[in-house]
Amino acid sequence: MPTKLFIGNLSFKMADAELNELLASSKIPVTSVTVMRDVDTGRSRGFAFAELAPEADLAAAIKELNGKMVDGRELTVNEARPQKKREFRGRDSGHRSGDRERPMRDRGPALY
């Protein structure tokens, strides 16, 4: 089963290819690298995930990269944890308490 690395404190200019080159120069075999990007702007969010190849040693990869200076920033590297499942509450989330709806005020006749 492949293991994933979380790589944090990346430069906002870092691209997938650059990170892949960095890992290759550190002799860390990976199968995929994904720099996380903002949905609206496409700008890097400053962290990435790298899926290690089956023959890679997780502890050695973390030891090699954690604290390494890249583009003037000290990397934070550890094993990626599974994402917590978030509950979807719908569009009106937080606008009502319990099942009780708020009474609608009379605003007079519509003017359209």
Q: Tens digit of pLDDT for each residue in 37-88?
A: 999 999 999 999 999 999 889 999 999 999 999 999 999 999 998 888 888 7
Rounded to whole angstroms, what are the CA distances from 16 to 48, 49, 89, 93?
9, 10, 34, 36
Mean pLDDT of 23-28: 93
In 3D, which of 45, 44, 52, 46 has the Cα closest to residue 79?
A: 52
CATH of 4-79, one of 3.30.70.330, 3.40.309.10, 3.90.1150.10, 3.40.50.300: 3.30.70.330
Kindly calculate the radius of gyration of the chain based on its CA atoms and give it in whole angstroms: 22
| pLDDT value at 21 more than 70 | yes
pLDDT, one tens digit per residue, over 8-19 is 999 999 999 999
